[in-house]
Each structure stands twice: as structure tokens, then as C-alpha cells.
Structure 1
Amino acid sequence: MTMLTSDVAYPTVPDDCLLSGEGVPVSVQREVYHNGRIFDISHKYVPDMPSFGVKDGLGEFLWLGLNMKNGSLVNVCMMKFNVHSGMHVDAPGHVFDHFYDAEFDVDTLDLEVLNGPTVVVDVPRDKNITVEVMKALNIPRGVRCVLFRTSNTDRNEAYVEEGI
């Protein structure tokens, strides 16, 4: 029987790791895809973040289910929210019932499709993304992804089905 003295589940803190003001390690994302960089464009989840079908946003979605301060052996966070909240990718089954029946979830998506040359369209606060806007984009050849940066903060914005 061989025993290992180091445990990869609990690695040492690398020398180049950032430290917070309290000396606590801060994780640094170093993600590379092929020869390009990956940019994390997700937003921080907060109780008033818009969520599809929910009038007042996410609400209290994260709590400490088990707490060492209350005698538990470990801290365990619990979370519950609508998956159509914040930055997300819709599964094929979200809009096509036959894909839903065939269990095409987000884990069936090929991540290759979500990476590559991208155009970011900054949508003015007072504008909608219409068919005319889409046609006028003149997306350069080779672009594989188009992202729309919207305000998405007003709770009572009209949902327009044009072009869907």
C-alpha cells in the first residue's frame, strides 16, 4: 500500500496568489480556450436581480443550510432560484418541445459553440432588439457569437414577442 503525503484536494496556496486585506487567498481565474482568452461576463446574483416570470426578482436565494457556528461539522450553502435569471444559456428544450421531451438540457450543449470570435452589441436603454436591428448589425465574417448588452434592470419593461 502506498501513502501519499500531499493531498491534491487541499493544495498549497501558490506564490502568485492574491491575498485580501485580511490575508485570505483570493482566487484568480486563468482560463484559456485554444489560443484565446475566456471572459467571464456573468453578473453577480443579488436578491433584486431580474428573473423571468418573477415580479420582484430572485428574492433571498442563498442561505447557509448548515453552519459550523451552530455546531455543524461543515458549512453548507443552499440556493434556490429560477434558472432563467441573470446571465444564462437556454437549453434547446427551452423553446423546442421535442428537444425537451428528448432531455436536451444545457449539459448537452457543445461548449465549442459558445466560444470564439464575438461581437458585443451595446443596446441603448430606450431601445428594443428588433428584427430591423438584427438585420442592420452587419456582423463580420468569422464571428460566431453575438452578445447583447442590455440594461435589464427595469422591472416593468414590456416583453415584446416580435421576431421570436
Structure 2
Amino acid sequence: MRGLNIPRGVRQVLFRTLNTDKKLMWKKKFDTSYVGFMRDGAQWLVDNTDIKLVGIDYLSVAAFDDLIPSHLVFLEGREIILVEGLKLENVKPGIYSLHCLPLRLRGAEGCPIRCILIN
């Protein structure tokens, strides 16, 4: 994570990983080998950045082998919004404006959203 050089003040980061290269979001069968955060990577982001939103290109921001610990780091450490299931195949690294439009669901802990990324 340190090598990404995410500067202080950056509030939202989308991670385009090997999940996109493998086209995992287009496959019908769930793939447990997807790229996601382990607890220590999530903790590093919480401790060393100002990020309030983490987006990733598969169905979970947390690695399959570390689901609960990674999610807890993001959700208990401070209020970080997790955006999962992004299709980022045509998105190049860079600075964008991100707008997330959630469905309003009463009593839900999560909901579907439509994300708009503007270059």
C-alpha cells in the first residue's frame, strides 16, 4: 500500500486490480481467488490516509481468506464507505470525480448504487 503514494487529502480511491484483467465481474461463477484487502492492508489505509471511500473491482473489498477482519478494519476504524462490484475495464489510472448515487432503502446496511466517474 505504501508504494501507491496516496497523498493526504485524497478522500476516495478506486482499486483496479487483476480482477479486471481476469474479467471476474463478467463471470457467472464466484471466484474465491479474487484480489481483495487483507487486514494489514486495510489497516494501513485507515492509519496512513484520509480515505473515506474505497472501491474495488469485485464483489468484496476483502480477500476471501480474510473477509471479516478486513471489513471490520474499514468499518470500525472510522466511517469508510465500501463500494464493491465496480466494472473498471476502461478506466485508466488518474484523478477523477466520483459520484455515487445510492438507492434509498430503510433499515438496510448496504444498497445498490450507480457510480458515475468523470474525467
Give the TM-score of the pair, scaled to structure 1: 0.19
Q: Relative contact order (C-alpha < 8 Å, sep 6+): which is higher? A: 2
Larger-gyration structure (1/2): 1
Structure with bigger helix share is 2
